Structure 1
Amino acid sequence: MSGRKRLQQLLDSLGRSAKHFSKAEVRCLVMLFDSLVPRSSSRCGAVGLGRAVFRDTLHCALGLTDDVLADEVFRVFDRDRDKCISVVEWVEGLSIFLRGTLEEKIKYCFEVYDRNGDGYISREEMFHMLKNTLVKQPLEEDSDEGIKDLVEIALKKMDYDHDGKLSFADFEKAVRDENLLLEAFGPCLPDIKSIMAFEQKTFQEAHKQ
């Protein structure tokens, strides 16, 4: 199959699955992906983005600077768990990342925070993420205690069935009641300013058409 035909099939398919983008925007995202792939390690190089290039892209292009959370975002984008982000995973992931509905973003954030994929955000998972995302005070010896207190406060507010962990239903209800809780355990979505800058740069060609 020619490269042009393959691209056309890809655009048709992604036009349906990445429904928040126009076909011209999908084309721009595929071109960006193709420009990033050669920078990936040789194991991923031919098929997709490796962890390091993906993390650098999140950092430089979308302002997500926390490496621990960037690794969890990589895990959520990497649907088939092959340790590489394919072009389909890239475009479909960005569709939610940049323009997702509240419902899509609730599901996405829950998956980021549910590090072991067991369907719950545990005390340990909350502690791990908050410990890494909060500003570290070098002389604060009891910072772990402060983080544990924050975990208990979060559970008190969000754990509706009082089982000591957050199910998806708990998380969804809490976020619908108070949208600010969407990123309660660390920033895993770009802010509006970063999104606008990224889209303006990436979709320049699409918006000329």
Structure 2
Amino acid sequence: MGNNSGVSLEEMNACESHQWYRKFMTECPSGLLTFYEFKRFFGLKNLSETSNAYVMAMFKTFDMNNDGYIDFMEYVAALSLVLKGGVQQKLRWYFKLYDVDRSGCIDREELLLIIKSIRAITGADHDMSAEDFTNMVFDKIDVNGDGELSYEEFVEGIQNDEMLLATLTESLDLTHIVQRIQGEIQDNM
């Protein structure tokens, strides 16, 4: 993993990091988490094709060195982002997640795919269709009207719109998964 993540094991206390390491090595004795193990690790089964694509995109954002695996340091960086990351860090991660084709911009189709996938996984009801929500996001934050969201447009637009920031943060809140893992760690102590 490169040094650009800004996260290290020192950010967690010794006891906490030992517990996370034990959990990680119990689930992944090889020390490398594959996509299949990632889904099993988070209890994601019988996903639709769309939801599976979303989970794969999430896996790839955590696989910082693009080797097809999540090692322990990448795992710690992901947990640190979820547990302790600031708005800027999370927005950078969200952008990377939404930019499915890694073009440096998010287009309507990419955003729509992710919104549909998140909704399929969470099963939550929404007042607005995924298509209408996607259109609203672009109407609000596609400043130059080119049909793509640059990183700058995305970050500024989301930060300047409390409703979009709250919706985005809520839809990608992974703390319930982290709490479940922490509960499993406590049960095994």
TM-score, structure 2 normalization: 0.74
Q: Post-superposition shift, 1:180?
A: 4.5
Residue of structure 1 equivalent to 2:161: 178
CA distance in structure 2 between the aligned counterparts of 1:198 and 1:117, rounded to whole angstroms = 30
CA distance in structure 1 between the aligned counterparts of 2:187 and 2:144, rounded to whole angstroms = 48
Q: Post-superposition shift, 1:56?
A: 2.2
2:62 maps to a residue whose letter is F
Matched, 1:37 2:28: yes
Name which structure has the greater RCO, CA cutoff 8 Å, separation 6+.
1
Contact 1:159 1:165 in 2 (8 A): yes
TM-score, structure 1 normalization: 0.68
CA distance in structure 2 between the aligned counterparts of 1:199 and 1:174, rounded to whole angstroms = 34
Q: Could you say what secondary structure the match of 2:33 adopts?
A: coil
State the aligned residue count. 171
Unaligned runs of 5+ in 1: 1-15, 39-45, 61-65, 136-145
CA distance in structure 1 between the aligned counterparts of 2:26 and 2:136, rounded to whole angstroms = 44
1:187 to 145, 158, 171: 171
Q: Could you say what secondary structure the match of 1:83 adopts?
A: coil
1:1-209 matches, within 5 Å, as 17-18=8-9, 20-38=11-29, 46-59=30-43, 66-134=51-119, 147-182=130-165, 184=168, 187-191=171-175, 193-202=176-185
Q: 1:180 to 1:71 in 2, by over 3 A?
A: farther
Unaligned runs of 5+ in 2: 1-6, 45-50, 121-128
Q: Post-superposition shift, 1:106?
A: 0.8
Contact 1:69 1:188 in 2 (8 A): no
1:75 maps to a residue whose letter is K
Instruction: Identify the range of structure 1 (180-189 vs 17-26) with the bigger mean alpha-carbon deviation.
Output: 180-189
RMSD in angstroms over aligned alpha carbons?
3.2
Instruction: Identify the range of structure 1 (50-59 vs 113-122) with the bigger mean alpha-carbon deviation.
Output: 50-59
Contact 2:34 2:68 in 1 (8 A): yes
Percent pairwise identity? 22
